Structure 1
Amino acid sequence: MLNKTWVVSAPGKVILHGEHAVVHGKVALAVALNLRTFLRMTLRDDGKVQMQLPNIGTRLCWQTSELRPLLAAFPADRPESQAPSPEQVEKLKAFAGLADGAAGVHSIATVAFLYLYLSIASKGGVLPSMDVLVWSELPTGAGLGSSAAYSVCLAGALLSGCGVIAYPLREGQSLARWTEEELDVINSWAFRGEQVIHGNPSGVDNAVGTWGGALRYQSGKITPLKKVPMLRILLTNTKVPRSTKILVAGVKDKLLKFPAIMEPVLTSIDAISQECEGVLEAMAERPSQEHYPVLEELMDINQHHLNVIGVGHSSLDRVCQVTATHGLHSKLTGAGGGGCAITLLRPDTAPSVVAAAIQDLGTCGFECWETDIGAPGIRAHSPPSLKAEVLKVFSGM
Structure 2
Amino acid sequence: MAPSVTLSAPAFAVSAPGKVILFGEHAVVYGKRAVAASVDLRTYLFFEPNTGDQIHLSLPDVNVTLMIPCCDIPLFDECANHPNFYETHFSALVADQGLQARAAILAFLYLYSKLAFRSRRLNPGMPTRGFTIRTRSFLPVGAGLGSSASFSTCLAAALLKHFDLLTGPAAARQDLVNEWAFRAEQVIHGHPSGVDNCITTYGGAKLYRKGEGTHDLAGFGGLRFVLVDTCVPKNTKQMVAGVAAFRERYPSVVNPLLDAVDGIAETFQALVATTPAAQLANHPDVARLIGLNHVLLSLLGVSHTALDTIRDVARRHGLAAKMTGGGGGGCALVWIPQGK
| Interval of TM-score (by shorter of Structure 1 and Structure 2) | 0.7 to 0.9
Bigger RCO (CA 8 Å, 6+ sep): 1
Match for residue 198 of structure 2 among 193, 201, 207 = 207
The offset of 1:248, in angstroms, is 4.9
The 8 Å contact of residues 94 and 105 in structure 2, kept in 1 or not, is answered as no
Matches within 5 A, 1:284-303: 287-293=277-283, 294-303=285-294
Conserved in 2, the CA contact under 8 Å of 1:204 and 1:222?
no
Change (3 A) 1:206 1:26: closer
Question: Secondary structure in 2 aligned to 1:334?
Answer: coil
Q: How does 1:185-196 map to 2 (within 5 A)?
A: 185-196=176-187
Say whether the 8 Å CA contact 1:279–1:291 is kept in structure 2. Answer: no
Corresponding residue for 2:70? 67
| Equivalent residue letter for 2:141 | T
User: Structure 1 309/165 Cα, relative in aligned 2: closer, same or farther at 3 Å?
Assistant: closer
Relative to 1, partners in 2 of residues 1:270 and 1:160: Cα closer, same or farther, differing over 3 Å? Answer: same
User: Partner residue of 1:44?
Assistant: 50
Change (3 A) 1:48 1:266: closer
Larger radius of gyration between Structure 1 and Structure 2:
1
Cα gap change, 1:80 to 1:184, in 2 (>3 Å):
farther
Find the aligned partners of 1:83 and 1:264 in 2 and give their Cα distance.
Answer: 29
Quote the residue 2:141 is aligned against: 140
Change (3 A) 1:282 1:152: farther
Assess, with a 3 A threshold, how the Cα gap between structure 1 residues 309 and 41 changes in structure 2: closer, same or farther. Answer: closer
- d(CA) in 1 for partners of 2:194, 2:73: 27
Q: Counterpart of 1:98?
A: 95
1:1-397 aligned within 5 A: 4-22=10-28, 25-62=31-68, 66-68=69-71, 70-71=73-74, 73-74=75-76, 78-79=77-78, 83-84=82-83, 86=85, 88-94=86-92, 96=93, 98-99=95-96, 104-122=99-117, 123=119, 124=123, 125-165=126-166, 179-218=170-209, 220-228=210-218, 229-230=220-221, 231-241=223-233, 243-244=238-239, 245-250=241-246, 253=249, 256=252, 259=253, 265-281=257-273, 287-293=277-283, 294-346=285-337, 348-349=339-340
Q: Indicate how the Cα distance of structure 1 residues 163 and 310 shifts in structure 2: closer, same or farther if over 3 A, else same.
A: closer
Give the direction of change, closer, same or farther, for the CA distance of 1:139–1:339 in structure 2 (3 Å limit): same
Q: CA deviation at 1:33?
A: 3.1
Aligned counterparts of 2:100 and 2:307: Cα–Cα separation in 1: 25
Measured after TM superposition, the shift of residue 108 of structure 1 is 1.8
| TM-score when normalising by structure 1 | 0.70
Structure 1 residue 162 displacement after superposition: 2.5
Q: Is the CA contact (8 Å cut-off) linking 2:323 and 2:333 kept in structure 1?
A: yes
Distance in 1 between residues matched to 2:303 and 2:193, nearest whole Å: 23
Q: CA deviation at 1:238?
A: 1.7
2: CA distance between counterparts of 1:227 and 1:276? 10
Distance (whole Å) between structure 2 residues aligned to residue 158 and residue 25 of structure 1: 30
Provide TM-score, normalisation by structure 2: 0.80
Q: Counterparts of 2:303 and 2:102 in 1: how far apart (Å)?
A: 31
- Are residues 222 and 239 of structure 1, via their aligned partners in 2, closer, same or farther at CA, if it must alter by over 3 Å? farther
Q: CA offsets, 1:2-59, max 9 Å, x none?
A: x822111112223211234445553322332332211111222344322111212322
Residues 298-336 of structure 1: per-residue CA shift (max 9 Å, x gap): 212323333455544432222123223443221122343
Q: Which range moved further: 305-314 or 327-336? A: 305-314
1:194 CA drift (Å): 1.9
**Corresponding residue for residue 382 of structure 1:** none
Unaligned ranges ≥5, structure 2: 1-8
Identity, % of aligned pairs?
35
Aligned AA for 2:88?
Answer: E
Residues 297, 191 of structure 1: alpha-carbon distance in 2 compared, 3 angstrom cutoff = same
Alpha-carbon distance between aligned partners in 2 of 1:110 and 1:309, rounded to the nearest angstrom: 31
Deviations 1:143-187 (A, max 9, x none): 3322221111011112123321159xxxxxxxxxx7111111111
Mapped contact 2:17–2:38 kept (Cα < 8 A): yes
Please tell me the residue identity of whatever aligns with 1:152. T
Rounded to whole Å, the distance in 1 between the matches of 2:53 and 2:300 is 55
| 3-state SS of paired residue (1:292) | coil
Paired AA for residue 57 in structure 1: N
Helix, strand or coil at the partner of 1:150: helix
For structure 1, the residue ranges without an aligned partner over 5 or more in a row are 168-177, 350-397
Moved more, 115-124 or 188-197: 115-124
Farther-moved stretch of structure 1 (264-273 vs 151-160) = 264-273
8 A Cα contact 1:20 1:251, kept in partner? no
Going from structure 1 to structure 2, the CA distance change for 1:307 and 1:194 (only over 3 Å counts) comes to closer
1:214 and 1:224 in contact (8 A); partners too = no
RMSD of aligned C-alpha atoms? Answer: 3.0
The answer (yes or no) to whether the contact 2:207–2:217 under 8 Å persists in 1 is: no
Higher deviation after alignment, 225-234 or 151-160: 225-234
Q: CA separation of 1:312/1:108 partners in 2, compared to 1, >3 Å: closer, same or farther?
A: closer
